[in-house]
Each structure stands twice: as structure tokens, then as C-alpha cells.
């Protein structure tokens, strides 16, 4: 899954793809590099990000989705807003990536009315406050059980099991130790039985893994992401959300070659 942030303020690529032409070119380049799906987002979810009004989010994402769907590109819509989800699906999106995992009842209704797949992501709190003091007794068990409950709620709301993916939500209300534990024990989530998506790309905890504790610049975190993604792939993770498609594709194929 290649990341296309049509936002002025995303943490690693904000402002780079805000015109229709630059967004479509970026998506096409990621498809050429081996992306199977392009995740289009019009609202940054980085810690402390300001919420975006619905009309502005629609203005950012819908023309891009229409243009890409017309070219046969598979699109995922990264939104927490039911109206944006519904219009994006109408414009051709085939996956709903909701980092709030259908918290809004209207989102579940919009999803149930549609045929698309949903990615249910775990987040403690909301983007404004989630990194203030994340706290768990046992992060791996709690995230797994909360995601199981979210899947159950989606099914009760009319979503069939074959339309559900789960995502532990790396960096969403999690400390560095929580993120490391979720990657290390990702098999616990895989064993629930739904396809698992992991979004590690460029995240700040990758820059803190060095023993020296010295922060690593956002664009220099790729080797750490590729290493952890390769590990996760061997544990059964199926989808990797990444800004660096060519390198991720090569790493994925390298691991795949071992089981060919």
C-alpha cells in the first residue's frame, strides 16, 4: 500500500502532493514501483494535527480518487469521516482505511451499504491527545482484543468477515516500547484470522531504536522500517503501508523468494 498524502501538513511529506497533477503523478509512480493499492488521505493524523473540515477534505481527495480510479488504480481512502468515506467509495475507492475503526456509527452504516474492504486500526485516544500518556497493562493482548471486538461490531453491523483487515496502529497512542512489543508479537494479531496491515513507514519510533538514543532524521528511517517489515512478513503480515514503495516491494519479494 503506497501512501499518498494530499495534505499540507503530513509529518514526512506534507505539502508535496497537493495539486491534482502532482498527486496523480506520485500515485502513478508508486504503482510503477510495485504498489498494489494507493492510500489517499486528506487529513494528517500525526500527533496534535488540526482536524480538517469535511468540505476541505473532500476537495483534497475526491478529484484525485476519480482521476486514479479512471486509470484503473486501486484506491484506499484514509479518513475518519463518514461523508468522505461514502463519496470516496462512490468515486471508486475499494478499501476504507479508518484509523478510528468505525467509532462513528455513521461510518459503519456507510461501510455496510458498500461492498468495500475495511482496515480497522487500533488507536488509543484521538490524534490531538494520543501521545500525551499512552498506557496499557499488556499492550499486545489489549490491542488484539480491542480489534477483535471492533471486527465483531462491524460484522454485527452487516460487514462480512472477508471484508475486514486489522492494523495494530503503530504510533497511535503508543510509546516506543508499545510499538516494539506490537511488532515483536504481531503473530498474536495475525492468529486472529484476518489479514493484518502494518504501517511503520518513517515513524518516529524507528528513529529511536539506536542504542545511543540519538534521533534519526525522518528520511533516514527506511532501513529500520524494511528490517521490521521483513520480520513481520515472516510472521504473516500481509499488507505494508509505505511511502517508499520500490524498496518495500524489493524487500517483500526477497522474503517471498525464501518460501518459493
d(Cα 194, Cα 177) in Å, to the nearest integer? 25
Question: Where does this chain touch ligand HH2 (CB under 6 A) — which range of 2-10, 66-74, 150-158, 185-193?
Answer: 2-10
- Residue closer to ligand HH2 by CB (options 46, 153) is 46
In the list 81, 144, 163, 241, the residue contacting ligand HH2 (rule: CB under 6 A) is 241
**Contacts of ligand HH2 in 113-152 (CB under 6 A):** 119, 121
DSSP for 55-67 reads: HHHHHHHHHHHHH
Question: Where does this chain touch ligand HH2 (CB under 6 A) — which range of 44-52, 65-73, 141-149, 247-255?
Answer: 44-52
Cell of 250: 524489493
Query: Is residue 203 flagged as an active site residue?
Result: yes
Query: Is residue 184 flagged as an active site residue?
Result: no
Does an H or E element contain 122, and which? none
Dihedral class, residue 5 (left if φ above 0, else alpha if ψ from -120 to 50, else beta)? beta
Asked if 5 is part of the footprint of ligand HH2 (rule: CB under 6 A), the reply reads yes
CA distances in angstroms from 213 to 14, 68, 89, 202, 218, listed in the order given: 26, 41, 43, 17, 15
- Least separation in angstroms between residue 258's CB and ligand HH2 is 26
**Per-position x/- string for 169-208, each x denoting binding to ligand HH2 as judged by CB under 6 A, each - no binding:** -x--------------------------x-x---------
d(Cα 14, Cα 18) in Å, to the nearest integer? 8
**Contacts of ligand HH2 in 59-78 (CB under 6 A):** 78
CB 41 within 8 A of CB 79: yes
- Annotated active-site residue in 203, 221, 238, 256: 203
Helix (H/G/I), strand (E/B), else coil: 107 = helix
Asked if 245 is part of the footprint of ligand HH2 (rule: CB under 6 A), the reply reads no
- Least separation in angstroms between residue 253's CB and ligand HH2 is 22
d(Cα 186, Cα 198) in Å, to the nearest integer? 9
Contact footprint for ligand HH2 (CB under 6 A): 3, 5, 7, 10-12, 41, 44-46, 78, 97, 99, 119, 121, 167, 170, 197, 199, 241
Instruction: Give catalytic residues, as residue numbers.
Output: 203, 241
Amino acid at each position: 500500500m503506497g501512501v499518498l498524502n494530499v495534505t499540507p501538513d503530513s509529518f514526512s511529506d506534507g505539502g508535496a502532493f497537493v495539486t491534482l497533477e502532482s498527486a496523480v503523478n506520485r500515485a502513478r509512480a508508486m504503482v510503477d514501483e510495485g504498489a498494489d493499492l494507493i492510500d489517499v488521505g486528506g487529513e494528517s493524523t500525526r500527533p496534535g494535527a488540526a482536524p480538517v473540515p469535511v468540505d476541505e477534505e473532500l476537495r483534497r481527495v475526491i478529484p484525485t480518487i476519480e482521476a486514479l480510479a479512471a486509470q484503473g488504480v486501486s484506491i484506499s481512502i484514509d479518513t475518519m469521516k463518514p461523508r468522505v468515506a461514502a463519496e470516496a467509495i462512490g468515486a471508486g475507492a475499494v478499501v476504507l482505511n479508518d484509523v478510528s475503526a468505525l467509532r462513528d456509527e455513521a461510518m459503519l452504516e456507510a461501510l455496510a451499504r458498500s461492498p468495500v474492504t475495511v482496515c480497522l486500526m487500533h488507536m488509543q485516544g484521538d490524534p490531538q491527545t494520543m501521545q500525551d500518556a499512552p498506557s496499557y497493562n499488556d499492550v499486545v493482548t489489549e490491542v488484539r482484543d480491542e480489534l477483535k471486538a471492533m471486527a465483531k461490531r462491524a460484522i454485527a453491523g452487516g460487514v462480512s468477515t472477508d471484508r475486514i483487515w486489522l492494523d495494530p496502529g503503530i504510533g497511535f497512542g503508543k510509546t516506543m516500547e508499545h510499538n516494539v512489543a506490537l511488532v515483536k508479537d504481531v503473530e498474536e494479531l495475525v492468529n486472529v484470522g484476518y489479514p493484518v496491515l502494518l504501517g511503520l513507514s518513517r515513524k518516529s519510533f524507528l528513529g529511536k531504536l539506536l542504542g545511543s538514543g540519538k534521533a534519526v532524521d525522518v528520511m533516514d528511517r527506511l532501513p529500520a522500517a524494511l528490517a521490521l517489515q521483513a520480520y513481520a512478513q515472516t510472521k504473516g503480515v500481509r499488507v505494508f503501508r509505505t511511502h517508499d514503495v520500490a524498496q518495500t516491494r524489493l524487500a517483500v519479494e526477497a522474503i517471498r523468494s525464501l518460501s518459493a
